[in-house]
Amino acid sequence: MTSDPRAALSALVAALETHLELAAVRRGDDDPAVEAAYQKVADAFEAYDDALLDAYGEVTPLDIYTEDDEDDEDELIDEEEFAEDFDNDDEDDEFDDVPTYVGLDDDEYDLDDDPDDDPDDDADDDSDDNDLDDDTDKQERG
């Protein structure tokens, strides 16, 4: 392993180019040449990332995917399935029969903040000189 980030970067680029060339002419899904090139890319990347960290205290935003990661992902999926099974348990659901609140109907919902608009309370309409429906109230009474 080299501690020079520039040399490690050159080795990584060369490994990527080799991988590209072999992937273009691969002989099936499990072509040993492509798999070997894949491993060389992973090794070269790790060497570059380590050299970058040693020289400058920096790392790349990339990570190497391994078979161990795949096993961890399988375990995570199993845990999620277990949680779903537990949540779908219908026993002891005390709130199943409680109706759901769906909101107000359009005629029950008033967007402006004017308290004089309440149709059930016309007592305050006469005290408001700026209220437009005062004339209507007086005509209805007269």
Binned average pLDDT, 10 residues per bin, the chain of 142 residues: 87 98 94 96 96 95 80 65 59 65 69 62 55 56 56
- Cα(22)–Cα(65) distance, rounded to whole angstroms? 20
The model's pTM:
0.48
Cα dihedral 52/56/60/63 (nearest 10): 60
Domain that holds residue 40: 5-56
Would residue 82 count as lying in a domain? no
Query: How many independent structural domains does the chain possess?
Result: 1
Would residue 36 count as lying in a domain? yes
The dihedral through the CA atoms of 76, 78, 81, 83 has a sign that is negative
